[in-house]
Structure 1
Amino acid sequence: MGTPVVPPWMANLDDEDLTFVKKFILASGSMKEVAAEYGVSYPTVRLRLDRLIQKIRLAEQTEQDPYIALVKRLAVDDKLDFDTAKILITAYRSQLGRGGKAAY
C-alpha cells in the first residue's frame, strides 16, 4: 500500500477538529448523538460543524492576493473570527475596486 496522502483541507484541521470529524462520521452524521457524546447541546454541535465547514471551504480556496490569503489563514487558524475576516476582505476588495492601491 502506498504512502497515505492527506488532502490539504484535512491537513489544516487541528487534532480537536479531526476528533470531532471522526466522532461525527462514527455517529453516522447524527448531531444529536455527537451532542450526547460530548455532553453539549445540539446547537453547540451545529455551531462547531458550521465552523468546520467554513474552515474547510477557506482551505479549499486558493488566493493569489497575499493580504486576502493572510486574512483567510488567520481565520482558519482561529486567530481571527470568520465574520471579521469577511469584513476585512470585503473592505479591502472595495478599496481596490475604487482604484486604491494595496498597502500590503
Structure 2
Amino acid sequence: MAVKQQFNSFDEMVSGSEQPLLVDFYADWCGPCQMMAKILDQVKAQVKGEVKIVKIDTERYPQIASQHQIHALPTLVLFNQGQPIDRIEGVLTAEQLVSRIREKIG
C-alpha cells in the first residue's frame, strides 16, 4: 500500500525528499487509477529503497494537480532532487514502469 501522508506543502515534500519520488495523481472515481494502484503495489516491492511512491488525490488537492498540469488520470510524475524528470499518463505494466523509473534515475 502506498503511503497516504499529510504534509505542509507538496513542494516541501518533493524538494525535501532524499530519494526520487514517484507521485501518483489519482481520483477515487477513476477506473484506470484503481488498476494503477495494484500495479504500483508491485512496483513498490521492486523499487523499495530506490524510489518513494506517494499518492495524491486530485479531488482533495486540486491546486497541486493544476500546478503540475494534470489533465488525465492516472498521471505519474517522477521527481528527482525536487525537479520533475518524467511524466506518464495512463496505465503501464509493472515491468514497463520499473524499467522506465530505473532508466530515468539510473
TM-score relative to the length of structure 2: 0.28
Which protein shows a greater Rg? 1
Higher helix share: 1
TM-score relative to the length of structure 1: 0.28
Higher strand share: 2
